[in-house]
Each structure stands twice: as C-alpha cells, then as structure tokens.
C-alpha cells in the first residue's frame, strides 16, 4: 500500500495490532446464573448472604432507644442502691468480711445489675435474632465451624489477608470510623456553648445533659449506619450472586448429575429396548395369529376368553422386527394372515399388552374364526 507521501508501508507501521483472542469468552468464565440446586447446596454449606452491618446498626439503634427510655430508671436504681449501701455501711462493715456478708453483697449487686441491664440485653438479643432470621431464615449447619486444614495454612491465610474481600472490609471499617467521628464532631460543635454553661449547674443536671447529648449523638450515628448497612446489604447480595455464578461446563456437569449422563441414559434405554424385544419375541410362539402388511408391519394377537374380554396384542413390529416376528411365527406354527389395513391400524393404535378396541372386534373375530375353523378349535 502506498501513502500520499509516496512512501509505501508508512501507514502499516502505525497500524495497531490487536489480539482478538483477548475478547474471546473464557471457557472457565462464570457467566451463568446459579441453578436452584447450586443455591440449595450453598445454603447447606452455610454459604448465605447477609449484611452484618445492618444488623449491628439496628442492634445499636434499639439498644440506645431502650437506654433512652429506661435510662432514668437505671439512674434511680443506682442511686437507691448506692444510698442504701451508704446508710447501712455501719452494719455492713461488721459482716462484710464474712462468707454470708460477701455472698449477700454479690447477690444484691447481681440482682440490681440484672434489673438494670436485663431489658437492654433482651432488646439486643431479640433484635439480633430477628435481623438474622429476616435475612437468612432458619439455618443450622456445622460446616462453618468444622475443622479445615486450609484455615491453618499460612499461605492461604496470607491470601485471605490481602484478598479483595479483606480490602472491602477495611474500606467499610474506615467509612464507619469517618461516620462516627463526623457525627460526634458535629454534635459537640453544635452543643459547645451549652456544654460550657454546665459549670454553672450542679453535677446531677450536668451529667444528665451530657448523657442526653451522647444518646442523641449515638442515635444519629445509628441512623447513618443503617443507611450504610442498606448499601452493604445490596453489595453483599451482588457479591453472593457473583460468587454463585457457574460456568457452562458446571451447568453441563450438574445436568448430568441431576438428569443423568445422556450417553449412559441412551445405553440404558437401548438395553431396555433389547430386553423388551427379546421378551416380546418369546411371546410370539403363544400367539393365535400374526396379521401382516405383508412386509412393513406384523402384529401378533392372542385371545384367551377366560382371562381377557378381547384379543390382546402380545407383539408388534415394523420392517426388520416384522420380518423376525413372521419368521418366529412360521417356525412355531402360528398362522400368518395378510390384511394390510388391519395390520396398519393395530400397529398404530394398540400398544403391546393392550386389548384391541371395540371397533376392530368384527375384523379380528372373522380372522380368529377362520383360524379356529382351520385348526378345528372351539374357543368359548
């Protein structure tokens, strides 16, 4: 090729060479959605998607709401118990270092602690259970805690430490720290002048005001973390779906496991047909008559008035099988009658082991009557 400058090949040297194989689909690339079986197997292994961030945020939110509602009662319980200890300290000193005194002291402390922290712990427990059940449902598996050598492999541990998931978790932790620092800064910046005025109030009022600021700030942080948790939930769903994707080869292998190997199924069906054909051929010598086309179809009929109400097809075949049926019938002394229309109708409408339909009674009865008269048999 000659360019305008008159120098041949000047364009070719600037031509970009691209390896089109880079755009070809990798045979191992996971491009297919997970099948129900793949999802079920993953669930059995404990591989489910859930956002721990949203559960933690909801848990903190309800805990701080509960603390805001019962905080005053907790304060009163602490004040009453402290006052009781201070008033009874004289009588308690005498028995403080005895076994009964120490036991009574710890019992009282335990009861007061349960009374104060019980509602908060109960709310946290219910929130955690409901949050997990809403995302995962009921799931019990020991696979997650089972012993695996890969977990103690230092090389695998190093890979997990610097994996993409670890980077994502680090980014999430940094985002949460930034959210907390920002919300705390904003809250105390807005309340700075009010906090400075607390020096003119008594300790009880100052402490109450500080506690209210802390709880309000915590609730705001929780709301921000819930928003962050929703985003994390969507990310966890995307990552879970991406992790469950399958290659085309995996789909084929799963199909073989569920439906069976097509080649194996074909061999089994062929074997079954051979067994069925041999069984059918063994029945031909017991037939009363074989009705033929004469070359394309052959149908063997048997009639036993004590067992069946109508003649039954015990064997039928087309082309090569029809020839074999006629050959066996001839060698066994079974009469062969040529009737093209009747043979074709029987072959197409009646399965092996079934009685002939009523509309064919007359035609078959005439043939059987002829055979019985020929052999001198009376069939009642």
Determine how β-strand 297-302 pairs with β-strand 312-318. Answer: antiparallel
Instruction: In whole angstroms, give the CA distance from residue 67 to residue 63.
Output: 6
Instruction: In whole angstroms, give the CA distance from residue 257 to residue 251.
Output: 10
Q: What is the pLDDT of residue 309?
A: 81
Instruction: In whole angstroms, give the CA distance from residue 53 to residue 232.
Output: 7
- Domain extents in the chain: 36-252, 265-375
Q: What is the pLDDT of residue 43?
A: 79
Q: What is the pLDDT of residue 288?
A: 83
Q: For residue 29, give the 3-state DSSP assignment.
A: coil
Quick one: 247 exposed, middle or buried, by C-beta within 10 A (0-12, 13-18, 19+)?
middle
The angle formed by the CA atoms of residues 50, 55 and 58, to the nearest 5 degrees, is 150
The answer to whether the beta carbons of residues 372 and 379 sit under 8 Å apart is yes
> From edge to edge, which strands make up the β-sheet containing 297-302?
312-318, 297-302, 289-292, 335-338
Number of H helices, E strands in the chain: 13, 4
Instruction: In whole angstroms, give the CA distance from residue 170 to residue 97.
Output: 51
261, 173, 219: which is closest to 65 by C-alpha? 219
Instruction: Give the right CATH number for 265-375 from 3.40.50.720, 3.30.750.24, 3.40.1690.10, 3.50.50.100.
Output: 3.40.1690.10
145, 135, 140: which is closest to 55 by C-alpha? 135
Helices (H), ranges, 245-339: 248-259, 262-283, 320-332
Beta bridge partners of 315: 300
Sequence-ordered list of residues with C-beta below 8 angstroms from that of 249, at least 6 positions apart, any chain: 27, 28
Instruction: Specify the pTM.
Output: 0.51
pLDDT digit of tens for each residue in the chain (380 aa)?
Answer: 444 444 555 545 555 555 544 444 444 577 778 777 888 877 777 777 788 888 888 898 998 888 888 877 777 777 777 777 666 655 555 566 667 766 777 787 788 788 888 888 888 889 888 888 888 777 766 665 555 555 566 666 666 666 777 888 888 899 999 999 998 888 888 888 887 777 777 777 787 788 888 888 888 999 999 999 899 888 888 888 888 888 888 777 777 766 666 666 777 778 877 887 788 888 888 888 888 887 788 888 888 878 878 888 888 888 888 888 888 888 888 888 888 888 888 888 888 888 888 888 888 888 888 887 877 654 54
Residues in the chain: 380
Task: For residue 214, count other CB atoms closer than 10 A to its CB.
Answer: 15
The answer to whether the beta carbons of residues 70 and 281 sit under 8 Å apart is no
């Amino acid at each position: 090729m000659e360019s305008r400058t008159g120098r041949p090949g000047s364009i070719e040297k600037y031509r970009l060479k691209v390896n089109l194989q880079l755009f070809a689909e990798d045979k191992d690339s996971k491009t297919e959605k997970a099948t129900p079986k793949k999802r079920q197997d993953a669930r059995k292994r404990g591989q489910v998607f859930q956002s721990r961030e949203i559960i933690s945020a909801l848990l903190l939110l309800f805990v701080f709401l509960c603390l805001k509602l019962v905080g005053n009662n907790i304060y009163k319980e602490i004040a009453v118990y402290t006052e009781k200890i201070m008033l009874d300290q004289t009588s308690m000193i005498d028995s403080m270092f005895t076994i009964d005194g120490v036991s009574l002291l710890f019992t009282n402390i335990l009861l007061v602690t349960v009374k104060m922290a019980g509602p908060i712990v109960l709310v946290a427990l219910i929130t955690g259970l409901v949050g997990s059940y809403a995302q995962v449902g009921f799931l019990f598996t020991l696979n997650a805690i089972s012993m695996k050598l890969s977990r103690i492999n230092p090389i695998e541990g190093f890979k997990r430490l610097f994996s993409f998931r670890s980077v994502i978790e680090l980014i999430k932790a940094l985002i949460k720290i930034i959210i907390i620092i920002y919300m705390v800064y904003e809250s105390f910046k807005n309340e700075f002048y009010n906090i400075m005025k607390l020096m003119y109030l008594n300790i009880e009022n100052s402490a109450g005001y500080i506690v209210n600021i802390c709880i309000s700030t915590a609730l705001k942080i929780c709301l921000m973390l819930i928003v962050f948790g929703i985003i994390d939930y969507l990310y966890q769903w995307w990552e879970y779906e991406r992790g469950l994707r399958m290659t085309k080869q995996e789909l084929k292998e799963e199909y073989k496991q569920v439906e069976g190997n097509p080649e194996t199924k074909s061999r089994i069906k062929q074997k079954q047909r051979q067994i069925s054909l041999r069984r059918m051929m063994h029945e031909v010598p017991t037939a009363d008559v074989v009705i033929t086309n004469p070359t394309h179809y052959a149908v063997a009929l048997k009639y036993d008035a004590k067992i069946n109400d109508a003649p039954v097809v015990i064997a039928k075949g087309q082309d090569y099988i029809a020839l074999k049926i006629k050959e066996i019938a001839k060698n066994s002394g079974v009469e062969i009658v040529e009737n093209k229309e009747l043979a074709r109708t029987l072959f197409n409408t009646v399965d092996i082991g079934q009685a002939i339909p009523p509309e064919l009674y007359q035609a078959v009865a005439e043939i059987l009557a002829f055979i019985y008269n020929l052999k001198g048999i009376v069939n009642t």
